[in-house]
Amino acid sequence: MPDYPFLKGHGTENDFVLLPDHDGSVHGDLSPDEMAQRVRALCDRRAGIGGDGVLRVVREDGGWFMDYRNSDGSVSEMCGNGIRVFARHLVDEGLVDGSAPIPVGTRDGLKTLTVDGDLITADMGTPRVLGETTVAVPGHAWVARHVDMGNPHAVAFVDSLDDAGHLLDPPEHDPATYPEGVNVEFVVRRGDRHVAMRVHERGSGETRSCGTGACAAMVAAAVADGLGPGSAYRVDVPGGTLTVTWTEDDRVLLTGPAVIVARGTTSL
């Protein structure tokens, strides 16, 4: 296998391996199983580069498409931290004009990003606030709010983030509600329009941050607070802080840092 280029980046310590593959000639011919195996090898934190997921950078219809994979090789519709890192890469490489809105295609449709110095804002689109469900870890069970951000989330408000335990396994959830699995956020209040969370991510396990999860947590908190569009919350995650804004026209904006930390080649 010839060497191919990669970069490493993160957003609030949700970290990713980026694979430039503009014409699909490097990874595009792999079967789904071969690509999943390559993703697992790249994300392995001992034998590989290490990451919560892979962002494949693909040219599509004259624009850019983010092909996101979780570290277990599974495909997801969207990645809020990842798309900011993706946009940072495009700007750093001079592939887009960072002074203008940046459209990026995803499996959840077209998203638009704007760069303001160290911070990047992703327009995550309209949240879908759905019904109540339940999630459980050994020794604890909670009612949770089902929120869809293009990918599925269950948001549980807990007394202490420690109540979620070690999160070594996926929290129990209703397979009928989440036939494709679910990202589970455990949220505590920190003050007015200020929450903190831990997350067990579908396909990656506990991560230091989850962008779509922070959006789901904010929307669930706003609804619980009797708020809605026209509000903004600070969301603290183990890897840093994100700002989530629910606009008057019912769109969610996710703002946070995004950095590229390394580049190289690999034959993994």
Ligand X SMILES: N[C@H](CCC[C@H](N)C(=O)O)C(=O)O
Residue in 73, 80, 125, 239 binding ligand X, rule: CB under 6 A: 80
Residues in 93-112 that interact with ligand X by CB under 6 A: none
131, 142 Cβ separation under 8 angstroms: no
Asked whether position 122 contacts ligand X by CB under 6 A, the answer is: no
Q: Is 211 in the site for ligand X (CB under 6 A)?
A: yes
Residue with tokens 């499996």: 107
- Tokens at 45, concatenated: 């934190």
Q: Is 12 in the site for ligand X (CB under 6 A)?
A: no
Q: Tell me the per-residue interface mask from 133 to 172 with ligand X, x by CB under 6 A, - otherwise.
A: ------------------x---------------------
Q: How far is the CB of 202 from ligand X (least distance, A)?
A: 4
Instruction: Give whichever of 81 and 158 is closer to ligand X, judged by the CB atom.
Output: 81
Question: Which uninterrupted H or E stretch holds 162?
Answer: none
Q: Which amino acid is at 257?
A: P
Told to check if 255 binds ligand X by CB under 6 A, we report no
Nearest to 113 by CA among 66, 151, 183: 66
DSSP one-letter code for 246:
E
Let me know if 215 is a catalytic residue: no
Annotated binding site for substrate: 14, 70, 80-81, 151, 183, 201-202, 211-212
Alpha-carbon span 186 to 37, nearest angstrom = 30
Q: At what angle do helices 211-224 and 80-92 cross, to 10 degrees?
A: 130
Site string for ligand X, 183-202 (x = CB under 6 A): x-----------------xx
Catalytic choice (210, 216, 253, 254): 210
When the beta carbons of 6 and 16 are compared against ligand X, the nearer one is 16
CB closer to ligand X out of 79 and 115: 79
Whether 143 contacts 132, CB under 8 Å: yes
Separation CA 156–CA 36 (nearest Å): 30
Cβ proximity to ligand X, 3 vs 180, nearer residue: 180
Buried b / exposed e over 236-254, threshold 16 CB at 10 Å, is: bbbbbbbbbbbeeeeebbb
Of 212, 246, 256, 257, the one binding ligand X (CB under 6 A) is 212
Residue 81 phi/psi, 5-degree rounding, is -70, -40
Task: Decide if residue 203 touches ligand X (CB under 6 A).
Answer: yes
Look up tokens 């969610």; give the residue.
252
Q: Which residues are catalytic?
A: 79, 210
What is the contact surface with ligand X in residues (CB under 6 A)? 14, 52-53, 70, 76, 79-82, 151, 183, 201-204, 210-212
